[in-house]
Amino acid sequence: MATTSLVPSSADDPLAYQTIALVDLLDRVLATGVVVSGDITISIADVDLVYVSLRALISSVGALTPPGGLG
């Protein structure tokens, strides 16, 4: 009887378990940008009272400006 592993091995995906420093991760996020979104619903007795939709764009100014500059 053959067994299979649910955890991917490094042979399947060489980048799956690559360690990365927090500074490198922050540099990648700011260079390309990331959108964070979420929804909050406050309800009492299954009656929705408040619904808030949140969206934030996190990026550096250099990544958002065109290559020729602003003007």
Tokens of 71: 């003007």
pLDDT by residue, tens only, the chain of 71 residues: 555 445 555 556 655 667 778 888 888 888 888 888 999 999 999 899 999 999 988 887 777 677 776 55
Alpha carbon distance 46, 42 (integer Å): 9
pTM of the model: 0.44
- DSSP H or E run through 29: helix 22-32
Q: Where are the alpha helices (DSSP H) in 1-71?
A: 22-32, 61-64
